[in-house]
């Protein structure tokens, strides 16, 4: 499926969600970023039921993170811990990763679930439109910075194929870059331009960031050595009841509430897709590399992502993001040099 109509979305939503994919996580470390509510919290609870050695909840708010931690501990699982990270600050992302590097941690499963959906331009302390930074740039930065921990899971013998799961969305099927963006010298620079970010542009900004997730996963998988043990994929949890859309304008929120009643999955049902991407697909590891997970299976990404323009944009976005993140964090550049055979 490389296209998605509105009727196709409804059919997908009516699909009977498969039971949770289960695995024995004894001795393994699982990190879920964006774990205090919604999909991340439900996924963390499922991971906790599989007996990992360590379950790390990456959360922005100490109060909400502590509440999530206590709820998981109340199930009887005692190996969960809270780690604070503000994805709208590159310095916080680096500090989060540094803590794992310093204590010599291995990471067997890393789930990047955090995202924001904004309809008005809002910039971060680092000078980026917030959803571009949180949903895309910080996902890329954190994945690359944590790569040594993923590789350590291989050398320690706990995971032959550690996994990185980036939560995307079916909305990427309805996203494409404008002519102004594609024909510009720097796509990210235009996406970050406040004058460019009109209400009309911001109305589909979340869609664009979910496309950016897909493009990042595909390009990273393409650039990794074929012998790399780390599997990186993107996953669609489906349309779920969520606090994500709380910033929508009132008319859109009303429509969204109606849609939630009619077709939305629960966040627990959506979290099962994250679990499948993290521990499912046994015997299909080669397909999972750079794959897009939907309905407990692998599916084609959008026509745009597969088009000649989409493939070119994918490379450009990669190069631009590397340039941005390397200026901020030298370790990002050095890690790329170690994990990508052709990176210089």
The residues that are catalytic are 169, 206, 210
All residues at 6 or more sequence positions from 289 whose CB lies less than 8 Å from its CB, including other chains: 221, 224, 231, 232, 233
Q: How far is CA 189 from CA 45, 147, 181, in A?
A: 39, 27, 9
**DSSP three-state, residue 339:** helix
The answer to whether 188 and 258 are in contact (CB under 8 A) is: no
The residue with tokens 């991340």 is 40
Q: Tokens 């190996």 appear where? A: 79
Instruction: State the DSSP H helix or E strand holding residue 262, giving kind and residue range, or none if neither.
Output: helix 250-263
Q: Which backbone phi and psi does 110 adopt, to 5 degrees?
A: -125, 120
Structure tokens at 265: 């999955």
- Whether the CB-CB separation of 108 and 153 falls below 8 Å is answered with yes
End-to-end CA distance of the chain: 36
Per-residue CA distances from 219 to 39, 203, 314 (Å): 25, 26, 7
Asked if residue 204 lies in contact with residue 117, where contact means CB atoms within 8 angstroms, the answer is no
Residue that the structure tokens 């074929």 belong to: 226
- What's the rounded Cα separation, in Å, for the pair 337 and 26? 32
Helix H or strand E encompassing 333: helix 330-339
- Residues contacting 167, CB < 8 A, separation 6+: 34, 39, 111, 112, 113, 115, 213, 234, 235, 237, 274
């Amino acid at each position: 499926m490389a296209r998605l109509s509105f009727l196709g979305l409804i059919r997908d939503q009516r699909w009977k969600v498969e039971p949770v994919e289960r695995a024995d996580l004894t001795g393994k470390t699982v990190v879920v970023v964006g774990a205090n509510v919604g999909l991340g919290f439900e996924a963390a609870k499922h991971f906790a039921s599989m007996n990992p050695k360590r379950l790390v909840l990456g959360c922005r708010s100490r109060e909400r993170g502590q509440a999530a931690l206590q709820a998981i501990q109340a199930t009887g699982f005692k190996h969960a811990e809270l780690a604070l990270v503000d994805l709208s600050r590159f310095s916080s992302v680096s500090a989060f990763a540094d803590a794992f590097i310093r204590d010599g941690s291995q990471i067997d499963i890393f789930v990047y679930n955090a995202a924001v959906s904004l309809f008005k331009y809002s910039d971060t302390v680092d000078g980026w439109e917030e959803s571009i930074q949180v949903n895309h740039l910080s996902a890329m930065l954190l994945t690359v910075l944590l790569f040594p921990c993923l590789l350590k899971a291989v050398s320690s013998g706990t995971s032959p194929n550690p996994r990185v799961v980036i939560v995307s969305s079916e909305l990427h099927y309805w996203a494409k870059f404008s002519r102004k963006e594609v024909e510009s010298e720097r796509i990210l620079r235009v996406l970050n331009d406040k004058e460019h970010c009109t209400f009309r542009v911001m109305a589909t900004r979340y869609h664009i960031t979910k496309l950016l997730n897909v493009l990042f996963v595909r390009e990273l998988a393409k650039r990794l050595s074929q012998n790399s043990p780390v599997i990186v994929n993107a996953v669609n949890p489906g349309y779920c009841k969520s606090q994500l859309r709380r910033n929508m304008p009132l008319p859109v929120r009303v429509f969204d509430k109606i849609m939630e009643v009619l077709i939305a999955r629960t966040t627990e049902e959506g979290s099962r897709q994250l679990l499948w991407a993290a521990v499912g697909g046994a015997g299909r590891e080669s397909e999972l590399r750079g794959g897009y997970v939907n309905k407990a299976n692998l599916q084609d990404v959008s026509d745009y992502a597969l088009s000649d323009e989409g493939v070119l944009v994918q490379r450009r976005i990669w190069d631009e993001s590397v340039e941005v993140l390397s200026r901020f964090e030298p370790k990002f550049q050095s890690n790329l040099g170690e994990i990508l055979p052709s990176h210089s």
